[in-house]
Structure 1
Amino acid sequence: MLLEFVRAHTVLAPVPFVPEINLRQAEEPIALWEATEAAGPEQPPPFWAFAWAGGQALARHILDDPELVAGRSVLDLATGSGLVAVAAAKAGARPVTANDIDPLSLAAAAANAEDNRVEVRTVEADLLDTDDRYGVILAGDVFYSREMAGRVLPYLRRAAGRGSLVLVGDPGRAYLPMGLLKRATYDVPVSKALESVDVRRTTVWQVV
Structure 2
Amino acid sequence: MAQDPEAFVRAQTAVESPSLIPELRLHLASEVIPLWQATEADLEALGLPPPYWAFAWAGGQGLARYLLDHPEVVAGRTVLDFAAGSGVTGLAAARAGAASVEASEIDSYALAAIRLNAALNGLTVTVSSDDLVGRDEGWEVVLAGDVCYERPMAERAFAWLQALAARGALVLLGDPGRNYLPKAGLERLACYGVPTSRELEDSDLRNAVVWRVLG
- 1:171 is aligned, of 150, 167, 176, to 176
Query: Partner residue of 1:33?
Result: 36
Structure 1 residue 203 displacement after superposition = 0.4
Distance in 2, matches of 1:23 and 1:190, equals 16
Post-superposition shift, 1:38? Answer: 1.9
1:9 aligned residue (4, 9, 12): 12
Partner of 1:182, secondary structure, is strand
Q: Which residue of structure 1 lines up, in the alignment, with residue 117 of structure 2?
A: 112
Q: Which residue of 2 aligns with 1:92?
A: 97
Unaligned runs of 5+ in 2: none
Quick one: which of 199, 203, 208 aligns to 2:209?
Answer: 203
1:76 is aligned with what amino acid? D
> Pick from 185, 190, 193: which aligns with 2:196?
190
Cα distance per residue 1:150-179 (max 9 Å; x no partner): 110111001101111000000000010022
Out of 142, 154, 159, the position equivalent to 1:149 is 154
Deviations 1:86-113 (A, max 9, x none): 1010000121001011111010011000
Give SS of 2:199's match: helix
C-alpha offsets along residues 4-26 of structure 1, whole Å, 9 cap, x if unaligned?
11011000011100111111110
Provide, for residues 13-52 of structure 1, a one-character-per-residue CA deviation record: whole Å limited to 9, x for no partner: 1110011111111022121112122233322110000000
CA shift, 1:131, in A, is: 2.0
Task: State the AA in 1 paired with 2:154.
Answer: A
CA distance in 2, matches of 1:191, 1:134: 34
Residue 65 (structure 1) shift: 0.4
CA shift digits 1:122-164 (9 cap, x unpaired)? 0001111212210100000001011001110111001101111
1:56 corresponding residue in structure 2: 61
Between the two proteins, what is the percent identity of the paired residues?
Answer: 51
RMSD: 0.9
The letter for the 1-side match of 2:101 is: V
Which runs of 5 or more residues in structure 1 are unaligned? none
Q: TM-score normalised to the size of structure 2?
A: 0.94
Query: Match of 2:139?
Result: 134
Equivalent residue pairs, number: 208
